[in-house]
Amino acid sequence: MDKQGSTKPKVRLRLIVALPVATSILMLVGALLTSYLMPQQLPWPGQDSMPDLRTVILLSVFCTIILSFLLNLLAAFLISRNLKRLMVKASSMIPVGPESMQKSEAANEMKALGIILDEVEVTLDRFIQDSYILENLPEALITVDAAGEVRALNRRAARLFNTALWNIRGRRLEEIVPKSLRNESFHRMVLKGFEGTESHSSLIRLSTDAKAELVLWVGVSPVELSGGQRGVTISFKDQTDIVSVRNQIQKLERLAAVGKVSAHIAHEVRNPLGSIKTLTELIREDLRPDETQAKYADVILDQVGRLDRLIEDVLSFSRSSLLNVEKAELPVLLSQMIDLARHSFPEKGVNVEEQYDPVLPPVWCDPERLCQAFLNVLINAFEACAAGGHIKVSATYERGGTANGSVIGIRVKDDGPGIPESNLQKVFEPFFTTKSHGTGLGLACTYNIINAHGGRIEFANRPSGGASVHILLPENHTLESPLDEPVEYHG
Protein backbone atom coordinates (compact mmCIF):
# COMPACT_ATOMS: atom_id res chain seq x y z
CA MET A 1 0.00 0.00 0.00
CA ASP A 2 2.72 2.47 1.03
CA LYS A 3 5.96 2.08 -0.86
CA GLN A 4 7.89 3.76 1.92
CA GLY A 5 7.27 0.90 4.30
CA SER A 6 4.71 2.37 6.65
CA THR A 7 1.84 0.39 8.10
CA LYS A 8 0.37 -2.01 5.48
CA PRO A 9 -2.99 -3.51 6.49
CA LYS A 10 -3.38 -7.01 4.96
CA VAL A 11 -6.84 -7.44 3.39
CA ARG A 12 -8.22 -11.00 3.59
CA LEU A 13 -11.65 -10.58 1.98
CA ARG A 14 -11.91 -8.07 -0.81
CA LEU A 15 -14.88 -5.76 -1.05
CA ILE A 16 -14.94 -6.24 -4.82
CA VAL A 17 -15.89 -9.93 -4.30
CA ALA A 18 -17.87 -9.72 -1.08
CA LEU A 19 -20.42 -7.15 -2.21
CA PRO A 20 -21.74 -8.82 -5.42
CA VAL A 21 -21.60 -12.35 -3.93
CA ALA A 22 -23.53 -11.33 -0.83
CA THR A 23 -26.18 -9.54 -2.93
CA SER A 24 -26.60 -12.49 -5.29
CA ILE A 25 -26.97 -15.00 -2.45
CA LEU A 26 -29.64 -12.87 -0.81
CA MET A 27 -31.58 -12.58 -4.08
CA LEU A 28 -31.31 -16.32 -4.73
CA VAL A 29 -32.56 -17.21 -1.27
CA GLY A 30 -35.48 -14.82 -1.72
CA ALA A 31 -36.38 -16.37 -5.06
CA LEU A 32 -36.33 -19.92 -3.68
CA LEU A 33 -38.55 -18.96 -0.77
CA THR A 34 -40.98 -17.21 -3.12
CA SER A 35 -41.21 -20.15 -5.51
CA TYR A 36 -41.63 -22.59 -2.64
CA LEU A 37 -44.54 -20.70 -1.13
CA MET A 38 -46.41 -20.16 -4.41
CA PRO A 39 -48.52 -22.89 -6.13
CA GLN A 40 -47.14 -24.65 -9.17
CA GLN A 41 -49.99 -23.46 -11.49
CA LEU A 42 -52.58 -20.71 -11.45
CA PRO A 43 -55.83 -20.73 -13.52
CA TRP A 44 -55.77 -18.34 -16.44
CA PRO A 45 -58.96 -16.85 -18.02
CA GLY A 46 -59.89 -18.63 -21.23
CA GLN A 47 -57.29 -21.35 -20.67
CA ASP A 48 -57.39 -24.57 -18.74
CA SER A 49 -53.85 -24.04 -17.35
CA MET A 50 -50.61 -22.03 -17.69
CA PRO A 51 -46.91 -22.91 -17.74
CA ASP A 52 -45.15 -23.88 -14.48
CA LEU A 53 -45.06 -20.62 -12.42
CA ARG A 54 -42.12 -21.65 -10.27
CA THR A 55 -39.98 -22.25 -13.36
CA VAL A 56 -40.86 -18.81 -14.72
CA ILE A 57 -40.03 -17.12 -11.41
CA LEU A 58 -36.73 -18.95 -11.04
CA LEU A 59 -35.67 -18.07 -14.60
CA SER A 60 -36.58 -14.41 -14.04
CA VAL A 61 -34.75 -14.25 -10.73
CA PHE A 62 -31.72 -16.00 -12.23
CA CYS A 63 -31.48 -13.38 -14.96
CA THR A 64 -31.93 -10.63 -12.40
CA ILE A 65 -29.21 -12.15 -10.23
CA ILE A 66 -26.76 -12.23 -13.13
CA LEU A 67 -27.52 -8.62 -14.02
CA SER A 68 -27.33 -7.55 -10.34
CA PHE A 69 -24.09 -9.47 -9.91
CA LEU A 70 -22.51 -7.65 -12.82
CA LEU A 71 -23.75 -4.24 -11.64
CA ASN A 72 -22.61 -4.86 -8.06
CA LEU A 73 -19.28 -6.11 -9.35
CA LEU A 74 -18.85 -2.84 -11.22
CA ALA A 75 -19.95 -0.77 -8.20
CA ALA A 76 -17.68 -2.72 -5.86
CA PHE A 77 -14.79 -2.27 -8.26
CA LEU A 78 -15.29 1.51 -8.37
CA ILE A 79 -15.72 1.77 -4.57
CA SER A 80 -12.70 -0.46 -3.93
CA ARG A 81 -10.56 1.54 -6.34
CA ASN A 82 -11.49 4.83 -4.65
CA LEU A 83 -10.90 3.32 -1.22
CA LYS A 84 -7.48 2.15 -2.34
CA ARG A 85 -6.62 5.63 -3.59
CA LEU A 86 -7.81 7.08 -0.28
CA MET A 87 -5.70 4.58 1.67
CA VAL A 88 -2.62 5.38 -0.41
CA LYS A 89 -3.11 9.12 0.19
CA ALA A 90 -3.72 8.59 3.89
CA SER A 91 -0.66 6.34 4.13
CA SER A 92 1.51 9.04 2.60
CA MET A 93 0.64 11.27 5.58
CA ILE A 94 2.19 8.77 8.00
CA PRO A 95 5.90 9.49 8.59
CA VAL A 96 8.38 6.70 7.96
CA GLY A 97 10.07 5.58 11.16
CA PRO A 98 10.85 2.51 13.27
CA GLU A 99 7.52 2.82 15.06
CA SER A 100 5.59 2.82 11.75
CA MET A 101 7.27 -0.20 10.13
CA GLN A 102 4.87 -2.67 11.74
CA LYS A 103 2.26 -4.60 9.72
CA SER A 104 -1.34 -5.11 10.76
CA GLU A 105 -4.10 -7.25 9.34
CA ALA A 106 -7.58 -6.16 8.32
CA ALA A 107 -10.58 -8.19 7.14
CA ASN A 108 -11.52 -5.76 4.39
CA GLU A 109 -10.79 -2.39 2.87
CA MET A 110 -12.97 -0.50 5.35
CA LYS A 111 -11.10 -1.89 8.35
CA ALA A 112 -7.80 -1.28 6.59
CA LEU A 113 -8.81 2.33 6.03
CA GLY A 114 -9.80 2.62 9.69
CA ILE A 115 -6.36 1.41 10.79
CA ILE A 116 -4.64 3.93 8.54
CA LEU A 117 -6.90 6.80 9.65
CA ASP A 118 -6.10 5.99 13.30
CA GLU A 119 -2.41 6.34 12.52
CA VAL A 120 -3.08 9.53 10.55
CA GLU A 121 -4.87 10.97 13.61
CA VAL A 122 -1.82 10.25 15.77
CA THR A 123 0.41 11.81 13.10
CA LEU A 124 -1.76 14.94 12.93
CA ASP A 125 -1.67 15.31 16.71
CA ARG A 126 2.12 15.14 16.62
CA PHE A 127 2.18 17.58 13.71
CA ILE A 128 0.02 20.07 15.62
CA GLN A 129 2.25 19.80 18.68
CA ASP A 130 5.42 20.14 16.60
CA SER A 131 3.92 23.10 14.74
CA TYR A 132 3.10 24.83 18.03
CA ILE A 133 6.66 24.29 19.24
CA LEU A 134 8.05 25.50 15.91
CA GLU A 135 5.91 28.65 15.94
CA ASN A 136 7.02 29.53 19.48
CA LEU A 137 10.73 28.92 19.11
CA PRO A 138 12.86 31.97 20.00
CA GLU A 139 14.73 31.69 16.69
CA ALA A 140 13.64 32.09 13.09
CA LEU A 141 13.55 28.92 10.96
CA ILE A 142 13.22 28.52 7.18
CA THR A 143 13.17 25.23 5.24
CA VAL A 144 14.30 25.37 1.59
CA ASP A 145 14.01 22.56 -0.99
CA ALA A 146 16.52 21.54 -3.65
CA ALA A 147 14.98 23.98 -6.11
CA GLY A 148 15.77 26.84 -3.74
CA GLU A 149 12.11 27.51 -2.85
CA VAL A 150 10.96 28.18 0.71
CA ARG A 151 8.82 25.23 1.80
CA ALA A 152 8.18 26.14 5.45
CA LEU A 153 8.95 28.86 7.99
CA ASN A 154 7.74 30.06 11.38
CA ARG A 155 6.28 33.41 12.36
CA ARG A 156 9.57 34.50 13.88
CA ALA A 157 11.15 34.24 10.42
CA ALA A 158 8.34 36.28 8.87
CA ARG A 159 8.81 39.01 11.50
CA LEU A 160 12.56 38.93 10.99
CA PHE A 161 12.20 39.65 7.28
CA ASN A 162 9.36 42.10 7.98
CA THR A 163 6.70 40.39 5.85
CA ALA A 164 3.77 37.96 6.08
CA LEU A 165 4.10 34.17 6.02
CA TRP A 166 2.36 33.81 2.67
CA ASN A 167 4.68 36.39 1.12
CA ILE A 168 7.69 34.17 1.75
CA ARG A 169 6.41 30.60 1.38
CA GLY A 170 6.90 29.45 -2.21
CA ARG A 171 9.40 32.18 -3.07
CA ARG A 172 13.00 31.46 -3.95
CA LEU A 173 15.57 32.03 -1.24
CA GLU A 174 17.57 34.24 -3.61
CA GLU A 175 14.61 36.63 -3.79
CA ILE A 176 14.57 37.05 0.01
CA VAL A 177 18.34 37.13 0.52
CA PRO A 178 19.75 38.25 -2.86
CA LYS A 179 23.04 36.89 -4.11
CA SER A 180 25.60 39.63 -3.57
CA LEU A 181 29.09 40.07 -2.28
CA ARG A 182 27.79 40.74 1.25
CA ASN A 183 25.58 37.63 1.21
CA GLU A 184 28.19 35.37 -0.38
CA SER A 185 29.13 33.59 2.86
CA PHE A 186 25.46 32.91 3.62
CA HIS A 187 24.75 31.29 0.25
CA ARG A 188 27.97 29.30 0.57
CA MET A 189 26.67 27.83 3.83
CA VAL A 190 23.34 26.95 2.17
CA LEU A 191 25.14 25.24 -0.72
CA LYS A 192 27.18 23.14 1.73
CA GLY A 193 23.92 22.21 3.46
CA PHE A 194 22.53 20.81 0.18
CA GLU A 195 25.74 18.79 -0.11
CA GLY A 196 25.04 17.26 3.31
CA THR A 197 27.37 19.41 5.44
CA GLU A 198 25.99 21.03 8.58
CA SER A 199 27.17 24.56 9.34
CA HIS A 200 27.11 25.69 12.95
CA SER A 201 25.97 29.17 13.96
CA SER A 202 28.14 31.93 12.56
CA LEU A 203 27.71 35.67 12.93
CA ILE A 204 26.84 37.04 9.47
CA ARG A 205 25.76 40.42 8.16
CA LEU A 206 22.93 40.00 5.64
CA SER A 207 21.31 42.30 3.14
CA THR A 208 17.64 41.41 2.45
CA ASP A 209 15.36 42.13 -0.47
CA ALA A 210 13.89 45.03 1.53
CA LYS A 211 17.36 46.67 1.57
CA ALA A 212 17.58 45.99 5.31
CA GLU A 213 20.90 45.26 6.98
CA LEU A 214 20.73 42.45 9.57
CA VAL A 215 23.41 41.05 11.86
CA LEU A 216 22.38 37.47 12.64
CA TRP A 217 23.70 34.19 13.95
CA VAL A 218 23.02 31.77 11.07
CA GLY A 219 23.13 27.96 11.10
CA VAL A 220 22.33 25.51 8.27
CA SER A 221 21.32 21.85 8.69
CA PRO A 222 20.59 19.36 5.87
CA VAL A 223 17.14 17.70 6.02
CA GLU A 224 15.23 15.14 3.98
CA LEU A 225 11.90 16.38 2.69
CA SER A 226 8.91 14.35 1.51
CA GLY A 227 9.62 12.12 -1.44
CA GLY A 228 13.26 11.77 -0.42
CA GLN A 229 14.08 15.24 -1.72
CA ARG A 230 17.05 17.04 -0.20
CA GLY A 231 16.59 20.31 1.59
CA VAL A 232 18.08 22.52 4.27
CA THR A 233 16.76 24.18 7.40
CA ILE A 234 18.25 27.60 8.13
CA SER A 235 18.12 29.06 11.63
CA PHE A 236 18.47 32.78 12.32
CA LYS A 237 19.13 34.27 15.76
CA ASP A 238 18.92 38.01 16.18
CA GLN A 239 22.18 39.38 17.56
CA THR A 240 20.20 42.11 19.32
CA ASP A 241 18.28 39.56 21.42
CA ILE A 242 21.47 37.73 22.40
CA VAL A 243 23.20 40.98 23.37
CA SER A 244 20.13 41.96 25.41
CA VAL A 245 20.19 38.65 27.30
CA ARG A 246 23.91 38.97 27.94
CA ASN A 247 23.42 42.50 29.25
CA GLN A 248 20.66 41.28 31.56
CA ILE A 249 22.91 38.49 32.89
CA GLN A 250 25.78 40.92 33.45
CA LYS A 251 23.40 43.33 35.16
CA LEU A 252 22.16 40.59 37.51
CA GLU A 253 25.74 39.54 38.27
CA ARG A 254 26.67 43.15 39.07
CA LEU A 255 23.59 43.55 41.27
CA ALA A 256 24.41 40.33 43.12
CA ALA A 257 27.96 41.55 43.74
CA VAL A 258 26.72 44.98 44.85
CA GLY A 259 24.21 43.30 47.17
CA LYS A 260 26.89 41.22 48.88
CA VAL A 261 29.28 44.17 49.26
CA SER A 262 26.50 46.48 50.43
CA ALA A 263 25.31 43.97 53.02
CA HIS A 264 28.84 43.63 54.38
CA ILE A 265 29.36 47.40 54.50
CA ALA A 266 25.95 47.90 56.12
CA HIS A 267 26.81 45.48 58.92
CA GLU A 268 30.16 47.16 59.48
CA VAL A 269 28.63 50.67 59.51
CA ARG A 270 25.68 49.83 61.73
CA ASN A 271 27.71 49.13 64.86
CA PRO A 272 29.61 52.46 65.00
CA LEU A 273 26.43 54.23 63.89
CA GLY A 274 24.67 52.83 66.96
CA SER A 275 27.44 54.18 69.16
CA ILE A 276 27.19 57.64 67.54
CA LYS A 277 23.43 57.68 68.13
CA THR A 278 23.71 56.62 71.77
CA LEU A 279 26.45 59.15 72.62
CA THR A 280 24.62 61.98 70.79
CA GLU A 281 21.44 61.24 72.76
CA LEU A 282 23.43 61.40 76.03
CA ILE A 283 24.97 64.74 75.03
CA ARG A 284 21.54 66.03 74.00
CA GLU A 285 20.13 65.28 77.45
CA ASP A 286 22.75 67.56 79.07
CA LEU A 287 21.95 70.54 76.81
CA ARG A 288 19.17 73.07 77.07
CA PRO A 289 16.74 73.16 74.08
CA ASP A 290 17.72 76.75 73.22
CA GLU A 291 21.44 76.05 73.00
CA THR A 292 23.09 75.92 69.58
CA GLN A 293 24.80 72.63 70.46
CA ALA A 294 21.37 71.07 71.07
CA LYS A 295 20.29 71.97 67.54
CA TYR A 296 23.48 70.38 66.19
CA ALA A 297 22.73 67.24 68.19
CA ASP A 298 19.20 67.09 66.71
CA VAL A 299 20.65 67.34 63.20
CA ILE A 300 23.07 64.50 63.98
CA LEU A 301 20.25 62.31 65.31
CA ASP A 302 18.12 63.01 62.22
CA GLN A 303 20.97 62.07 59.89
CA VAL A 304 21.78 58.97 61.93
CA GLY A 305 18.14 57.92 61.63
CA ARG A 306 18.27 58.47 57.87
CA LEU A 307 21.43 56.37 57.58
CA ASP A 308 19.86 53.68 59.74
CA ARG A 309 16.83 53.49 57.41
CA LEU A 310 19.13 53.32 54.39
CA ILE A 311 21.08 50.45 55.98
CA GLU A 312 17.86 48.62 56.74
CA ASP A 313 16.79 49.00 53.10
CA VAL A 314 20.16 47.74 51.88
CA LEU A 315 20.00 44.70 54.16
CA SER A 316 16.45 44.00 53.08
CA PHE A 317 17.45 44.27 49.42
CA SER A 318 20.34 41.84 49.89
CA ARG A 319 18.09 39.21 51.51
CA SER A 320 16.45 37.01 48.87
CA SER A 321 15.43 34.00 50.95
CA LEU A 322 12.18 33.40 52.82
CA LEU A 323 12.79 32.68 56.51
CA ASN A 324 9.36 31.83 57.91
CA VAL A 325 7.04 30.19 55.36
CA GLU A 326 3.50 29.53 56.55
CA LYS A 327 -0.09 29.81 55.37
CA ALA A 328 -1.56 33.29 55.63
CA GLU A 329 -4.74 35.13 54.65
CA LEU A 330 -3.89 37.87 52.15
CA PRO A 331 -6.92 40.10 52.98
CA VAL A 332 -5.76 40.22 56.62
CA LEU A 333 -2.18 41.15 55.67
CA LEU A 334 -3.34 43.79 53.20
CA SER A 335 -5.79 45.38 55.67
CA GLN A 336 -3.08 45.59 58.34
CA MET A 337 -0.66 47.28 55.96
CA ILE A 338 -3.38 49.68 54.73
CA ASP A 339 -4.00 50.80 58.33
CA LEU A 340 -0.27 51.22 58.91
CA ALA A 341 0.19 53.27 55.72
CA ARG A 342 -2.90 55.39 56.52
CA HIS A 343 -1.46 56.28 59.95
CA SER A 344 1.72 57.47 58.23
CA PHE A 345 -0.27 60.04 56.21
CA PRO A 346 -3.08 61.22 58.51
CA GLU A 347 -3.10 64.72 57.04
CA LYS A 348 -4.00 63.54 53.52
CA GLY A 349 -7.32 61.89 54.33
CA VAL A 350 -6.94 59.39 51.49
CA ASN A 351 -9.95 57.12 50.93
CA VAL A 352 -8.98 53.45 50.54
CA GLU A 353 -11.41 51.04 48.89
CA GLU A 354 -10.82 47.35 49.59
CA GLN A 355 -12.30 44.61 47.39
CA TYR A 356 -11.35 40.96 47.96
CA ASP A 357 -12.60 37.84 46.19
CA PRO A 358 -14.70 35.86 48.73
CA VAL A 359 -13.10 32.56 47.61
CA LEU A 360 -9.50 33.68 48.16
CA PRO A 361 -7.58 30.72 49.61
CA PRO A 362 -4.74 31.11 52.12
CA VAL A 363 -1.29 31.18 50.50
CA TRP A 364 2.10 29.83 51.51
CA CYS A 365 4.33 32.84 52.16
CA ASP A 366 6.67 34.60 54.55
CA PRO A 367 4.10 36.96 56.15
CA GLU A 368 6.67 39.42 57.51
CA ARG A 369 8.46 39.89 54.20
CA LEU A 370 5.23 39.93 52.20
CA CYS A 371 3.86 42.64 54.52
CA GLN A 372 7.01 44.65 53.86
CA ALA A 373 6.40 44.37 50.10
CA PHE A 374 2.73 45.41 50.46
CA LEU A 375 3.69 48.33 52.70
CA ASN A 376 6.27 49.63 50.22
CA VAL A 377 3.67 49.61 47.43
CA LEU A 378 0.99 51.25 49.61
CA ILE A 379 3.34 53.99 50.85
CA ASN A 380 4.16 54.84 47.22
CA ALA A 381 0.43 55.01 46.46
CA PHE A 382 -0.28 57.27 49.46
CA GLU A 383 2.62 59.55 48.55
CA ALA A 384 1.34 59.85 44.97
CA CYS A 385 -2.21 60.81 46.02
CA ALA A 386 -3.22 64.38 46.75
CA ALA A 387 -5.29 65.31 49.82
CA GLY A 388 -8.62 63.49 49.67
CA GLY A 389 -7.33 61.11 47.01
CA HIS A 390 -8.54 57.59 46.32
CA ILE A 391 -6.76 54.22 46.39
CA LYS A 392 -8.32 50.89 45.41
CA VAL A 393 -6.85 47.62 46.70
CA SER A 394 -8.25 44.40 45.24
CA ALA A 395 -7.37 40.71 45.21
CA THR A 396 -8.83 38.12 42.83
CA TYR A 397 -8.46 34.35 42.55
CA GLU A 398 -7.68 32.77 39.17
CA ARG A 399 -8.21 29.01 39.36
CA GLY A 400 -5.76 27.17 37.10
CA GLY A 401 -4.41 30.49 35.84
CA THR A 402 -0.98 29.00 35.05
CA ALA A 403 0.63 25.70 34.17
CA ASN A 404 1.82 25.56 37.79
CA GLY A 405 -1.63 25.99 39.29
CA SER A 406 -3.85 28.81 40.49
CA VAL A 407 -2.69 32.36 41.13
CA ILE A 408 -3.87 35.35 43.14
CA GLY A 409 -3.77 38.77 41.52
CA ILE A 410 -3.41 41.83 43.77
CA ARG A 411 -3.89 45.31 42.34
CA VAL A 412 -3.16 48.65 43.99
CA LYS A 413 -4.51 51.61 42.01
CA ASP A 414 -4.11 55.29 42.90
CA ASP A 415 -5.34 58.52 41.32
CA GLY A 416 -2.00 60.32 41.48
CA PRO A 417 -0.03 61.75 38.55
CA GLY A 418 1.47 58.39 37.56
CA ILE A 419 5.06 58.08 36.40
CA PRO A 420 6.70 59.25 33.14
CA GLU A 421 6.75 56.55 30.47
CA SER A 422 10.53 56.84 30.23
CA ASN A 423 10.85 55.75 33.86
CA LEU A 424 8.46 52.77 33.77
CA GLN A 425 11.28 50.31 33.04
CA LYS A 426 13.41 51.69 35.88
CA VAL A 427 10.99 51.64 38.84
CA PHE A 428 12.34 48.32 40.16
CA GLU A 429 16.02 49.18 39.70
CA PRO A 430 18.01 49.67 42.92
CA PHE A 431 18.62 53.30 43.97
CA PHE A 432 16.26 54.68 41.32
CA THR A 433 13.87 57.24 42.78
CA THR A 434 12.02 60.39 41.76
CA LYS A 435 11.68 61.55 45.36
CA SER A 436 14.02 63.96 47.08
CA HIS A 437 13.95 61.95 50.32
CA GLY A 438 13.84 58.38 48.94
CA THR A 439 16.57 55.75 48.91
CA GLY A 440 15.36 54.08 45.72
CA LEU A 441 15.33 50.66 47.35
CA GLY A 442 11.66 50.32 48.33
CA LEU A 443 10.31 48.89 45.07
CA ALA A 444 13.58 47.05 44.42
CA CYS A 445 13.11 45.22 47.76
CA THR A 446 9.48 44.59 46.85
CA TYR A 447 10.52 43.07 43.53
CA ASN A 448 12.96 40.71 45.30
CA ILE A 449 10.36 39.65 47.86
CA ILE A 450 7.68 38.90 45.29
CA ASN A 451 10.21 37.06 43.13
CA ALA A 452 11.28 34.97 46.15
CA HIS A 453 7.62 33.92 46.50
CA GLY A 454 7.60 32.69 42.90
CA GLY A 455 5.46 35.60 41.76
CA ARG A 456 5.68 38.64 39.56
CA ILE A 457 5.08 42.37 39.97
CA GLU A 458 4.23 44.87 37.23
CA PHE A 459 3.93 48.66 37.27
CA ALA A 460 1.83 50.60 34.76
CA ASN A 461 0.09 53.93 34.27
CA ARG A 462 -3.71 53.91 34.18
CA PRO A 463 -5.46 55.38 31.11
CA SER A 464 -7.72 57.42 33.39
CA GLY A 465 -4.76 58.76 35.38
CA GLY A 466 -2.70 57.44 38.25
CA ALA A 467 -0.62 54.31 38.61
CA SER A 468 -1.45 50.62 38.98
CA VAL A 469 0.72 47.96 40.61
CA HIS A 470 -0.18 44.36 39.77
CA ILE A 471 1.22 41.59 41.99
CA LEU A 472 0.79 37.93 41.03
CA LEU A 473 1.32 35.22 43.64
CA PRO A 474 0.99 31.44 43.16
CA GLU A 475 -1.43 29.74 45.53
CA ASN A 476 1.00 26.97 46.48
CA HIS A 477 4.64 27.94 46.78
CA THR A 478 7.05 26.87 49.51
CA LEU A 479 10.81 26.71 49.91
CA GLU A 480 10.59 22.95 49.46
CA SER A 481 8.67 23.16 46.17
CA PRO A 482 9.69 26.28 44.25
CA LEU A 483 8.16 27.03 40.89
CA ASP A 484 10.17 25.90 37.88
CA GLU A 485 8.93 28.74 35.68
CA PRO A 486 7.70 32.31 36.14
CA VAL A 487 4.05 32.88 36.87
CA GLU A 488 1.89 33.92 33.94
CA TYR A 489 -1.51 35.40 34.60
CA HIS A 490 -4.39 35.59 32.16
CA GLY A 491 -7.05 37.61 33.87
Given 211, 240, 269, the domain boundary residue is 240
479 in a structural domain = no
One domain for residues 349 and 470? yes
One domain for residues 350 and 467? yes
One domain for residues 404 and 302? no
One domain for residues 92 and 156? no
3-class secondary-structure state, position 135? helix
396 in a structural domain = yes
One domain for residues 278 and 347? no
One domain for residues 468 and 333? yes
Q: Kindly list the averaged pLDDT for each block of 10 residues, start to end, along the chain of length 491.
A: 44 55 71 62 51 64 72 72 72 55 56 70 62 68 89 83 73 87 88 89 80 82 83 84 67 68 70 82 84 85 78 65 80 92 88 92 88 90 91 86 70 90 78 69 82 86 89 69 37 32
Vertex 136, ends 135 and 138: CA angle to 5°? 115
Q: Do residues 318 and 259 lie in contact, with contact meaning Cβ atoms separated by under 8 Å?
A: yes
488 in a structural domain = no
One domain for residues 294 and 232? no
State the residue range of the domain holding 294. Answer: 243-318
484 in a structural domain = no
pLDDT at position 488: 36
One domain for residues 251 and 113? no
- Tell me the CATH number at 260: 1.10.287
One domain for residues 336 and 452? yes
The C-alpha torsion from 449 through 453 and 454 to 458, rounded to 10°, is -40
489 in a structural domain = no
- Tell me the CATH number at 414: 3.30.565.10
pLDDT at position 175: 86
370 in a structural domain = yes
Alpha-carbon Rg for the chain in angstroms? 40
One domain for residues 74 and 160? no
Given 127, 152, 172, the domain boundary residue is 127
One domain for residues 94 and 201? no
452 in a structural domain = yes
pLDDT at position 486: 37
Q: What's the rounded Cα separation, in Å, for the pair 31 and 244?
A: 87
Given 223, 240, 257, the domain boundary residue is 240
One domain for residues 208 and 292? no
482 in a structural domain = no
pLDDT at position 8: 46
Looking at the DSSP bridge assignments, the partners of residue 235 are 141, 219
Q: How many domains does the chain have?
A: 4
